[in-house]
Chains A and B, each alone.
Chain A
Amino acid sequence: MDTTDRQIINGLQGGFPICERPYAAAAASLGIDEEDLIERLSRMLEDGTLSRFGPMVHAEKLGGGLTLAAMSVPEERFDDVTARVNAHPEVAHNYARDHRLNMWFVLATETSERIAEVIAEIEDETGLPVLDMPKQQEFFVGLRFEA
């Protein structure tokens, strides 16, 4: 990663232009050319420095459902339960965490009613309770990672 890569990461976490040739416009403000910017973005997406490049959607505003759910999974069943939970396409992220509640996943569904259905399906398939923790209020979501 060189200085230009860092400038791209730090400078392009938002505000990408909406115009006919946005890469050219963004590149100009970084002092490089369009082709160079596209090449660098492709490389950083490929090697995993960037997980995505594009519009970030505010899921609740699409009118669907979104929640954080937690489960307490016995260690010997962990892999099996992980497979069952992850098999649901509505599960967007799933993390193992060092707590009695050791599995935490985000559910994103096309309708808000669907959240309760997916939770019921997971409880049914695993025989374990799922704690539903939808956000009631959000306070500034905005850390910008400095490279």
Chain B
Amino acid sequence: MNVLMPPPTLDPVDRRIIKAAQGGLPLVSRPYAAVAKEIGTTAADVERRLRRMLETGVVRRIGAVPNHYKLGFKGNGMSVWDVPDEAVADVGPRIGALDFVSHCYHRPRHLPDWTYNLFAMVHGHDRDEVAEKVAEIARMLDGISRRHDVLCSTRILKKTGLRLVG
């Protein structure tokens, strides 16, 4: 479980590193030196700052982001659940720990239109597998969730990833 913490301080050099590397780490033998050159510092400084940002969690991880569609995970469903607010702290970590759930968040309801407060993104190779996984969650939440739904994506309208703007 990861409760939102106040943001750690990032100085302008940290932000320049993130801006320079967020599109992708240079595919050269010395990528941190390449980033350092671009922003006018040393490789050692970039390495030290990246290590610190990993420690504070500003950088979640460094590595490959696979395109799950290309890997055959063509089904993805945003399952949404209406659970009592006081139960969220208990069930959230259990749902988040499932190996087919990539994200699990507590979000606000918008009554009367939107009654759901727990979101779990479920992945599978196809829609049937997604439906089975959602049924598995429903069994776990039997007697706790009042209702649920699954919203499948029908089209990607935009996907640029999160970026620092400006």
Residues of A that sit less than 8 Å from B by CB: 8-9, 12-16, 18-24, 34, 38, 41-42, 44-45, 47-64, 66, 68, 70, 82, 85-86, 89-99, 101, 103-106, 108-110, 131-143, 145-147
Find the B residue at minimum CB distance from A56: B60
Q: Chain B, interface size: which category?
A: 35 or more
Those 7 A-B pairs whose CB atoms lie nearest each other, nearest first:
A139-B96, A14-B61, A143-B102, A54-B25, A140-B96, A94-B157, A63-B7
Chain A residue at minimum C-beta to C-beta distance from B113: A131
Say whether B71 contacts A49, CB under 8 Å: yes
Question: What are 20 residue pairs bridging A and B, where the CB atoms are less than 8 Å apart in the complex?
Answer: A16-B25, A50-B65, A53-B25, A53-B27, A53-B64, A55-B62, A62-B7, A66-B162, A82-B157, A86-B158, A92-B159, A94-B157, A95-B157, A96-B157, A97-B153, A97-B154, A133-B114, A134-B107, A135-B107, A141-B2
Interface residues of chain B, those whose CB is within 8 Å of chain A, are 1-5, 7-8, 10, 15, 18, 21-25, 27-33, 43, 47, 50-51, 53-54, 56-68, 70-71, 73, 78, 88-89, 92-93, 95-97, 99-108, 110, 113-114, 119, 123, 149, 151-166
Kindly list chain A residues whose C-beta atoms are within 8 Å of the C-beta of B28.
Answer: 38
Q: Which residues of B contact A62 (CB under 8 A)?
A: 7, 10, 15, 18, 58, 164
